[in-house]
Amino acid sequence: MKKELEHNFVELLEKHQNIVHKVCRLYTNNQDAHNDLFQEITIQLWKAYPKFRGDSKFSTWMYRVGLNTAITLYRKNKRRIKTEEFDAFQYKISAEAYDDSEEHQLKLMYKAVRQLNDIDKALIFLYLEDKSYKEISETMGISEVNARVKMNRIKTKLKTILNP
Amino acid sequence: MDELELLKKDWNKNGDKYPKLSYDEIYKMILKKSSSIVKWIFIISLLEFVFWGIISIALKDTESMQRFKNYDADKIIIPLTIFGYIILAYFFYLFFKNYKTISVTDSAKVLMENILKTRRTVKKYVAFNLIYLVFSTIVVLFIEFDKDAELINQVEQASANGEVFKFYAIIIITTLLLLAVAVGVLLLFYWLVYGLLLGRLNKNYKELKKLEV
């Protein structure tokens, strides 16, 4: 019974692992921290899995557990951000962009997003993942109206970071 | 906002941008132990219960406590002890009840609230212990002054020299100083441990609460 549960879980997570990687990308600055957070999210997902009923999509459920772990449960690495590592990581992110100016813009955008606080990052993340305001509000535990207002503020904040 | 649309486009065409962990790698991960703050709060809380438990047991067997038995002060000491245990059981129950409600599948806000609630329970328990400690010390002092032959003798001697006020002052100040040190050490412990553990959570919780105003 337990073996079957383990098997189902690992298979599902293997399939949807990008969601977790995306959360890690947003909340960590180097590969070590990324792996560390991935590990913790995996454990939290696994611990909560027996209660997963399947009435929501596995991926939807993953967003919640992943963000909760990143924002609340995870203790940040004591290691401060190292610039070289940070840049290397950044570069990898936008390596696929083809247009020079577009690449530059993207680089700035990612940098700006990284400067946001934990909560703002979570909202932006859900926005980038094309989640509805209803889902955003349920994941964060705030009202839909407040989610919208907050989202607009974050957009303004990003604008100011980009065009100081 | 064009940039945001651009970002969204890039964000979602990430095919092989991420590491691809294999089935075995993920399987190994689920066998590892969590190092989340909830786990640490749980461990530290249990240690706090153990700490105060040890203190009360350790005090029970001291010489002065043994001497106390001869004072016929049972009608004060026994109710005080029973009261202490009832409160301990009550807090223990509350702590576990709160701990059980912590679920990573709740919304971010509810999760944070439940963690803070668990933490507050233990804080109240420690506050109770400190008050209990101060109260018991006062009770014990009164009993000592009432029953301890040597102390009574000293008081009489002091009053014969006209120094009774000084005598009481010294005892009260010493007691207060000792209590202040005990409280100080505990506060330092709290500041360090919970500051490190919950700093981030508190910051994020405030940020979420701010949205509601």
Question: What are the tens digits of pLDDT across the range B178-195?
Answer: 888 988 888 888 788 888
Structure tokens at B122: 């233990």
The DSSP symbol for A50 reads G
**In-domain check, residue A58:** yes
Q: In this structure, how many other beta carbons lie within 10 angstroms of the beta carbon of residue B86?
A: 10
The per-residue pLDDT for A58 is 86
How far apart are alpha carbons B195 and B95 in whole angstroms? 20
State how far residue B52 is from chain A, nearest Cα, in angstroms. 27
Q: For position A97, what pLDDT does the model report?
A: 44
Cα–Cα distance for residue pair A95/A72, rounded to 1 Å: 31
Measure the CA angle with vertex A150, ends A76 and A134; round to 5°: 95
**Residue predicted with more confidence, B56 or A38:** A38
Residue B14: pLDDT band by 50, 70, 90 thresholds? low
pLDDT computed for residue A99 by the predictor: 55
Domain assignment present for A71: yes
Tell me the mean pLDDT in the region B28-33: 92
Q: Report yes or no: A105 at the B interface, CB cutoff 8 Å.
A: yes
**Which residues form the domain of A68?**
1-81
Residue A105, in any domain of the structure = no
In this prediction, residues B78-101 reach a mean pLDDT of 87
Sign of the dihedral defined by the CA atoms of residues B153, B157, B162, B167, in that order:
negative
Residue at A88 is within a domain: no
- pLDDT computed for residue A82 by the predictor: 47
Q: List B residues 43-62 in contact with A (Cβ-Cβ < 8 A).
A: none
Which of B103, B197, B204 is facing A119, going by the closest CB pair? B204
**Strand residues in chain B grouped as ranges (E):** none
Residue B196's nearest CA partner among B33, B32, B44, B34 is B44
Residues in chain A predicted with pLDDT less than 70, given as ranges, are 55, 76-100
pLDDT, position A79: 46
Asked whether residue A126 is assigned to any structural domain, the reply reads: no
Q: Is residue A42 part of a domain?
A: yes
- List the structure tokens of A123: 């909202």
Q: How many other CB atoms sit within 10 Å of the CB of residue B211?
A: 19
Q: What per-residue confidence (pLDDT) applies to A95? A: 47
3-state secondary structure of A116: coil
Q: Which of B16, B23, B211, B206 is nearest to B116 (CA)?
A: B206
| Percent of residues, chain B, with pLDDT higher than 90 | 16
Minimum-distance CB partner of B109 among A13, A40, A142: A142
Q: Between residues 110 and 139 of chain A, which touch chain B (CB distance below 8 Å)?
A: 110, 113, 117-119, 122, 127-130, 138-139
User: Tokens 């990008």 — which residue?
Assistant: A18
Contact predicate B124/B91, CB 8 Å: yes
Q: Check if the beta carbon of residue A93 is closer than 8 Å to that of residue A31.
A: no
Tell me: pLDDT of B67 over 60.
yes
Chains A and B: how many Cβ contacts under 8 Å? Answer: 160
Residue A118 lies in a domain: no
Question: Average of pLDDT values for B161-168?
Answer: 83
Chain A residue numbers with beta carbons less than 8 Å from the beta carbon of B32 are: 39, 43
Per-domain residue ranges of chain B: 35-210
CATH code, A76: 1.10.1740.10
B13 touches chain A (CB under 8 A): yes
Q: How many domains does chain A have?
A: 1
Q: What is the pLDDT of residue A133?
A: 94
Mean pLDDT of chain B: 84
Domain presence at residue A8: yes
- 3 state SS of A98: coil
